[in-house]
Amino acid sequence: MKIAAQGLAIVFTVFLIWFGLSQLDYVSFFKVKQNGQDLETALGELIWDEIAKTEDVVLNDSLVKTLDKLINPLCEANGIERDSLKVHIIEKDEINAFALPNNHLVVYTGLIADCKNQQALQGVLGHEIAHIENKHVMKKLSKEIGFSVLLSATTGGKAGEVLKEIFRTLSSSAYDRSLEKEADITSVDYMIAADIDPKPLADFMYEMAMDSQMPKEMYWIASHPESEERAQYILEYIKGKKLKNKATITEKEWQAFQKLAEQQ
């Protein structure tokens, strides 16, 4: 009797699950998901087009190819499709790099010129790639601006107004600390997988935090607070790990790359 009751309970539970699943509107569910992707694509192109109109985009073949060389091992070692990233170099003295919707990655010449070594730059690039891969940019914009407002930028007449709000949000406030830590640690994992020493990323963060010679608004670190704490948890994370330090480009290539960035 007890076994029969248990059997009936199982059958009833399976029926309830089947019935519940049958009521889901899968078309609507996946349409919402598709709409989200369409919005990210439209926003990314809208934002980048606006940046390209107002900033000096660097098309120097040597700079672009060398930056690609530094990005490629991070992608190859971590299963990231390199062609999915839309990488741009902007001629600007600010020490900055940032991610945009739809896989856009923007790097300022000031960052290239300021990094002490190629590993520090690769750590920053890995951090921004992690933001892209983990969809942090859209999470941030949706949370702080709202999905409906973002949608209005691509479907209505408020594009200019919304774009101003998007730029303000991307430039003046940091990601949630949990997202920042996720991007930091993911970048470290990217580097370890590519046999690149991640310690220079922690050094870069600490040095930027301690440098009082430059206005804070010009720092990549300005929109990434608690930099000393972040440097510490990166060093703690890699403690005891077997690290390799395989240079992606030669020191001569690195110095030429920096000099070319300074000349832009």
Asked if residue 14 is part of any domain, the answer here is: no
Q: Is the dihedral of CA 231, 234, 238, 243 positive or negative?
A: negative
| Overall average pLDDT of the 117-140 stretch | 95
Mean pLDDT of the chain: 83
Asked if residue 137 is part of any domain, the answer here is: yes
pLDDT of residue 213: 52
Q: Of how many residues is the chain composed?
A: 264
Q: Rounded to whole angstroms, what are the CA distances from 20 to 13, 15, 30?
A: 11, 9, 17
Q: Which amino acid is at 221?
A: I
Give SS3 for 143: helix
* 138 contact partners, CB below 8 Å, separation of at least 6: 36, 40, 43, 101
pLDDT band at 157 (very low <50, low <70, confident <90, very high): low
Asked if residue 199 is part of any domain, the answer here is: yes
In percent, the amount of the chain with pLDDT more than 90 equals 57
Q: Let me know: does 155 contact 162? Beta carbons within 8 Å.
A: no
- Is pLDDT of 186 > 90? yes
100, containing H or E segment: strand 97-100
| Overall average pLDDT of the 183-198 stretch | 97
pLDDT of residue 136: 93
Query: Could you tell me the pTM of the whole model?
Result: 0.81
Asked if residue 21 is part of any domain, the answer here is: no
pLDDT of residue 20: 46
Condensed to tens digits (0 to 9), the pLDDT of residues 9-56 reads 454 444 444 444 344 443 333 333 445 578 899 999 999 999 999 999
In sequence order, what DSSP letters do the residues of 65-82 get, joined into one string? HHHHHHHHHHHHHTT--G
Q: Which amino acid is at 82?
A: R
What is d(CA 19, CA 13) in angstroms, rounded to the nearest whole number? 10
Give SS3 for 57: strand
Question: Which candidate, 173, 172, 147, 176, places its Cα nearest to that of 162?
Answer: 147
**209 token code pair:** 């935090």
Give the count of domains, the chain. Answer: 1
pLDDT of residue 129: 98
Q: Rounded to whole angstroms, what are the CA distances from 146 to 70, 139, 155, 202?
A: 35, 10, 15, 33
Asked if residue 1 is part of any domain, the answer here is: no
What is d(CA 112, CA 184) in angstroms, rounded to the nearest whole number? 19
Asked if residue 97 is part of any domain, the answer here is: yes
Relative orientation angle of helices 61-77 and 177-193, to the nearest 10 degrees: 90
Asked if residue 27 is part of any domain, the answer here is: no
Burial of residue 69 (CB within 10 Å: 0-12, 13-18, 19+) is middle
Residue 94 Rama label (left phi>0; alpha psi -120 to 50; beta): beta
pLDDT of residue 150: 87
In sequence order, what DSSP letters do the residues of 155-189 get, joined into one string? HSS-HHHHHHHHHHHHHHSPPPHHHHHHHHHHHHH
Domain that holds residue 170: 32-263
Asked if residue 86 is part of any domain, the answer here is: yes
86-95, 118-127, 208-217, 246-255: range with lowest mean pLDDT? 208-217
